[in-house]
Amino acid sequence: MKAFVVLLVLIAHAHADPAAGAQLHYELQSFHDVHDDAMQPPEGRHLVLAGVRLHAFIGTRTIAYHIGIDLAAGSTIDGGGFAYDVALFPVGGALRFAQTSFVTLGVGIGASGALHTVDDAVTFPIEARFEMGRGIRLLGRVRATWVGAAKERHGGSPSVSFIDELEAMIGLRLGRAYWDFDFPTGNGYFVGAVYREWMGAQFVGGIIGYSLDMGTPRKPR
């Protein structure tokens, strides 16, 4: 909480130099259960999700307030049930560096579940994201989630005992960078790996997608 107040004060003092940026991802990810000794194996052992992530920040050239929304839907392969994973991040901070690179930390609320296989639950995620580079860009995120309701999903992360679910992604965008209308931007397709722990099982998989980023410049061209 103290860090959040410090962030707000810093942003409030930066009124003379406003800066902003946004990122959009289209993603298709596939998870497969690779290790589930810890608990009863989940029925949905293979999961495919397609979705959109839209994040933005506004503040100074270095520190900014961050918000975001993640929407994904798909299906478990075995159970054949509709699956979803959505989250809103209304509170967060961003640390910008280089020309368009950044690290963000967001706190939010969401919901996830899968018909017949994974109980629906309200979720409370904390997510760290980073993007580094221009056209060729390293993308990543780590999310720790606490689950409300759905008791069978509590304590479902085998590697971190005090959280319920864990998710991580790392990817490489093979795209292009632009400098149009005095704004540094970039876009392109990316490929990467995903990792998820929930319901006592560990899932790994792949991700392909499209990412774009835009923002006010941090330094002269």
Partner 1 sequence: MLAVQECRVECRFDGLTLAAQGKGVEVIAIRHAAVTPIRAAGCVTYSAPRVRLVRLGIVTRLWPLVLASCVIFQRPVEAPQGDETIVALLTGGLAHPMNDIARHPWFAIRKKGEQQWMVYEVGGGIAREADPFRSHNIYVGPMLHKVWRGEEAERAAACIERVGTEVKRDIDENYRLFPGPNSNTFGDVVLRRCKLSAALPATSIGKDWRGLIGVGISSERTGIQIETPLLGFKIGLKEGVELHVLGLSLGIDLWPPAIIVPLGPGRLGFDDR
Residues engaged in binding partner 1 (CB under 8 A): 24, 26, 50, 52, 71, 73, 136, 174-176, 178, 180-181, 185-189, 210, 212-214
Q: Is 147 exposed, middle or buried (0-12, 13-18, 19+ CB in 10 A)?
A: buried
Output the smallest distance, CB 53 to partner 1, in A: 12
| Rounded-to-integer distance, Cα 88 and Cα 124, Å | 9
> Taking the complex as a whole, how short is the minimal distance between the CB of residue 69 and partner 1, in angstroms?
10
**Residue 63 pairs with which residues in a beta bridge?**
95
95 vs 212, beta carbon nearer partner 1? 212
Residue closer to partner 1 (CB basis): 191 or 193:
191
Measure the CA–CA gap between 185 and 213, rounded to whole angstroms. Answer: 6
Instruction: Supply the minimum distance, in Å, between the C-beta of residue 77 and partner 1.
Output: 18
> Using H for helix, E for strand and C for coil, what is the string for 154-170?
CCCCCCCCCCCEEEEEE
For residue 207, the minimal CB distance to partner 1 (Å) is 14
Q: Return the biggest CA–CA distance within the chain.
A: 56
* H/E segment holding residue 174: strand 165-180
d(CA 72, CA 38): 27
Which residues have CB under 8 Å from 172's CB, separation 6+?
136, 137, 138, 139, 190, 191, 192
Nearer to partner 1, 7 or 72 (CB): 72
Q: In this complex, which beta carbon is closest to partner 1, that of residue 26 or of residue 195?
A: 26
> Which residue number, 174 or 193, has a Cβ lying nearer to partner 1?
174
In the complex, the smallest distance separating the C-beta of residue 185 from partner 1, rounded to whole angstroms, is: 4
Q: How far is the CB of 115 from partner 1 (least distance, A)?
A: 17
Amino acid at residue number 15:
H
The pair of three-digit structure tokens given for residue 97, joined into one six-digit string? 């560096």
Nearer to partner 1, 97 or 183 (CB): 183
